[in-house]
Amino acid sequence: MNLSLFQKIIKDFQIRLLPSLTQRDLKLSFIKDMSLTIVGARRGGKTYRTFQLLHDLARQEVRKENVCRIQFNDHRLRSISIDHLHLIDEAFYSLYPAKQMKGRFLSVPNVTKLSLHG
């Protein structure tokens, strides 16, 4: 696992168009300086609720360059271990150094598949 792979995955997300979707009524509440977590059953709509959040942010003129979204079921990340997670921050901030310490958004849908021992 290397920094350039995470940089590529981040950039791939940022250039890809968001999918069209049906708006859901689930309200998300943000708490200052806390992470937002969306949990639920498999195939329960977590990914598309995340896309809805991204659409909402775009309507508020938040640019995709301000979002770091990693899909951990990406085939390129099959061999990822918990020891590699620090590379996500490093990759994002190496692409956008001015954004360091301005907040984070991280979707971790398959964290149970990550190896604890590399």
pLDDT computed for residue 114 by the predictor: 46
pLDDT computed for residue 23 by the predictor: 86
Confidence band for 9, pLDDT divided at 50, 70 and 90? very high
pLDDT single digits (tens) 26-82: 888 878 777 677 788 888 888 888 889 889 888 999 888 888 888 888 899 988 888
Decide if 72 is inside a domain: yes
Residue 59 domain boundaries: 3-113
Decide if 71 is inside a domain: yes
Sign of the dihedral defined by the CA atoms of residues 87, 91, 94, 96, in that order: negative
Decide if 31 is inside a domain: yes
3-class SS shares of the chain: helix, strand, coil, % to 5: 45, 0, 55
Nearest to 85 by CA among 58, 59, 104, 98: 104
What percent of the chain stands above pLDDT 70?
84
Decide if 60 is inside a domain: yes
Nearest to 116 by CA among 84, 76, 70: 84
Decide if 118 is inside a domain: no
Mean of pLDDT over the chain: 81
Per-residue pLDDT at 104 exceeds 60: no
The structural domain count of the chain equals 1
pLDDT computed for residue 103 by the predictor: 54
Decide if 73 is inside a domain: yes
C-alpha to C-alpha distances, 57 to 18, 32, 51, 54, 108, nearest whole angstrom: 12, 16, 10, 5, 19
Residue that wins the pLDDT comparison between 5 and 80: 5
